[in-house]
Amino acid sequence: MSYLRGLWIVFLHLFRRSDTVQYPKEMTYLPPRFRGRIILSRDPDGGERCVACYLCAVACPVDCIALQATEDESGRRYPAWFRINFSRCIYCGFCEEACPTYAIQLTPDTEMSEYARASMVYEKEDLQIAGTGKYHDYNFYRVAGLSIGGKGKGEAENEAPPVDSKRLLP
């Protein structure tokens, strides 16, 4: 009896929609917050968002992020180089959570197969994208009190103009 039931169920599946997708001809839907390949985004003004604070590197449980901070002549910090060893990455998303500037983001892209492990090592130019990624409006330097090129002291959000330290008025 159970055999017949099993056959009946298999028969019914002939009329169900197939779950199998003809990848790669057909792509499956991955939501925007899917944790796939990591990118470095830019702020709305087109500047690099990454300020090389090392928080992604320290948050990484497999230590697969390494970078070196540097700054331009106006004092703006950015990574001189930024490397992610995707052959070690576990796509946990901790780096994105740790990032104070929304620079590092995980994307719904999983197509990263390579024949050689060395090809899984991504440098900054492989990671940097042209857009803002998931977060469109945030620009760290508009909020932070550090002056950079094009933004002086007291010009960030919620800041008073610089104090004249030689003024003695009460």
| Site of interaction with another protein (CB under 8 A) | 51-55, 57-58, 60, 62-71, 77, 83-85, 87-88, 100-101, 117-118, 120-121, 123, 140, 143-146, 153-154, 156, 158-163, 165-168, 170
CB of 111 to another protein, least distance (A): 19
Judged by beta carbon, residue 71 or residue 109, the one nearer another protein is: 71
CB of 96 to another protein, least distance (A): 14
SS3 81: strand
In the DSSP assignment, the letter for residue 118 is: G
Place of tokens 């960030």: 156
Phi-psi region of 119 (alpha: psi -120 to 50; beta: other; left: phi over 0): alpha
CB of 60 to another protein, least distance (A): 6
Judged by beta carbon, residue 27 or residue 70, the one nearer another protein is: 70
Residue at 95: amino acid letter: C
- Give the whole-angstrom CA distance, residue 67 versus residue 50: 11
CB of 33 to another protein, least distance (A): 23
Beta bridge partners of 84: 65, 122
Judged by beta carbon, residue 108 or residue 138, the one nearer another protein is: 138
Judged by beta carbon, residue 41 or residue 101, the one nearer another protein is: 101
SS3 164: coil
Judged by beta carbon, residue 1 or residue 168, the one nearer another protein is: 168
Phi-psi region of 79 (alpha: psi -120 to 50; beta: other; left: phi over 0): beta
CB of 108 to another protein, least distance (A): 23
